[in-house]
Structure formats: structure tokens, C-alpha cells
Amino acid sequence: MPELPEVETTLRCLRPYLSTTIIRDVTIRQYQLRWPIPNDLKSKLQNKCIRSLSRRGKYLLLHLEEGSLIIHLGMSGCLRILSDSERLVPHAHLDLILANQLILRYIDPRRFGAILWTDEGPLEHPLLKNLGVEPLSEIFTGDFLWRRAKNRLVPIKSLIMNAKIIVGIGNIYAAEALFLARIHPTIPAGSLSPEQCQTLVDSIQQVLQQAIKQGGTTLKDFVDSEGKPGYFSQQLNVYGRAGLPCVRCGAELKALRLAQRSTVFCSGCQK
DNA sequence: AAAAGGACCTGGTGGC
DNA sequence: TGCCACCAGGTCCTTT
């Protein structure tokens, strides 16, 4: 499910409910996610105050007095704020019962997500420490991308989805950004000109910012923490539109498989 | 070092 | 209606 805009939407939605809130209790129904939920998590959280929330790439971080909860939504995860009367749905793996009577519930059918704890600064955690740049930060420039792409033969789509280089871009927004930039998804990353890199950076930032503004993309089951879907799916130009006409030139959009991911593009517009 | 492919897991869809 | 193959928003790990 969630790429950067969906995680950011979740963060913004949660913040008013969670910051400076005390966790009264923790219910764990399923420990087996991508990695097991730590056995001692309950003791780390119970009666502790959530000081603040942040995001790094697709990771959500809840900062407590000592240590942080690291949450990743995987492919199908979401976090909901619920009143205690709501009935349990399948795959509700963890609840934080808050002092304000609300429940923060983690739901993840495919269990590709993760809930981990770190006593240290969370950015030093092995999963976060080697992450690439934030695409909406000022250090993500055309020159940065050009230098990282130089001499590399991987398809440009794979490169921009590589979290060691840039975080947050998944299959939807990679396809959309390449369409906006008129760049073919399979061309070797190292063959882009500096100008094309600048265009691509601009397109990535544009598509992510627009998607955040729309509350993310709901394909199937993404909702924010209040249960509202995102509306960016109405603005998708290529993702999920193989066989349909290109909104720019009218040519039939093509699909191919790249690194086991479906990839839609316009062979008329994207060179 | 870089690139490619497999693995993890559930649920929905389309074909026969 | 049932069964099966295949697909889905991620990303780490192993192999080449």
C-alpha cells in the first residue's frame, strides 16, 4: 500500500491524537510480522508518554521518553484511531490503548510491515541508518540524482525506487514521476543527462506533493487513521491504466515487467 | 560493487 | 460453484 504520501498522510492524521498522549495498555494479537514484534514491547510502552511523531522514508516513528517505536506499513498496513467500542476486524495485530480512551490499531493483512523498538536514536537503527535522501528535502537535487545515477546500468525506475538512494518512492509514484518527466522507465540510469535528472527530480517532488495534498492514493484499502481514503488515484496518469489512451498524446499506454513490478508508460511520450 | 531474483503473506480476480 | 494461477502499494537477503 503505502508509499511516502500515504505514510505522510497517516502521520499528519495521527499527530493530534498521539502527541503528548500516555499509552495505558498494549494488546498484541500477532507477533509474526516481517520481523517479530519484540517480546518485551508492552513493558517498553506501558504508562509511557508519546512525546512526538516523525517520518523517515516510509517508516513512522513514535518518540517516547526513552526510545522509539518504529512502524512500517509494508504493502497492506494501516494505522487507525478508534473508539473502544469498535469491533475487531481480522488482521488487527496490535492495539495501543491510550489514556484518552482511544485506541491506535495496527492492521496489516499481508504482514509485510514491521513494529520494532529501539532504545537508541531511531535513525541509528540498522533499518534506517543506511536510508537515502528524503525526496522532498532540499538536498535532493538534479545534480544529486545525476551523480548517483552516473555509470549505473539499472533501469532508471529501479534506481528511483532504491531506498538506499532516495526513500519513499514506490511503484505508483515511480511510474507517475517518469511519465511527468517524459523519461522511459527502462533506460539505464547512467544515460540520463543532467537536465533530465533535474526534470525527474522536479517531477518526483511535484507528484509526491500533489499526492500528499490529496491524502494519498487509495487503490483498494488504504485509509488514513480516521478511515478516510486518499483521492490521488483520480490523478494517476499511467499507473493501472495499461491499454488506455495516454492523457497527453492519446497513444495506447504499454505495460512491462521491471524487477517483478508492473510498469506502465507511454511509448509515445516517454523516451 | 552492482544487478537480478526469491522470499515473506493474505486476499481478490479471472479463467477454465 | 470450485479450483488454480496470478496479481497487488515493500524491501531484505542470497545468488550471479
Q: Which amino acid makes up residue A174?
A: A
pLDDT class of A219 with cuts at 50, 70, 90: confident
Can you give the pTM of this predicted structure? Answer: 0.97
Check whether A6 has a pLDDT greater than 80. yes
- Report pLDDT digits (tens) over A176-202: 999 999 999 999 999 999 999 999 999
pLDDT class of A223 with cuts at 50, 70, 90: confident
Q: Pick the closest to residue A258 from A190, A160, A166 (CA basis).
A: A160
Catalytic residue among A44, A55, A58, A105: A58
Q: Is the CB of A163 under 7 A from strand B?
A: no
Give, as ranges, the nucleotides of chain C with any atom within 7 Å of a protein CB.
Answer: 7-12
Q: Which three cell numbers stand for residue A147?
A: 551523480
CA of A160 to C1' of B3 (A): 15
Q: What does the mean pLDDT of chain A come to?
A: 96
Q: Give kind and range of the element (H or E) at residue A262.
A: strand A261-265
| Sequence-distant (≥ 6) Cβ neighbours of residue A6 within 8 angstroms | A73, A216, A217, A222, A230
CA of A109 to C1' of B15 (A): 26
**Strand C footprint, Cβ within 7 Å:** A 1-3, 6, 34, 57-58, 72, 74-76, 110, 112, 127, 163, 170-172, 216-222, 230, 260-262
Q: What is the mean predicted confidence (pLDDT) over A85-98? A: 93
The confidence score (pLDDT) of residue A1 equals 65
Check whether A122 has a pLDDT greater than 70. yes
- Report pLDDT digits (tens) over A232-261: 999 999 999 999 999 999 999 999 999 999
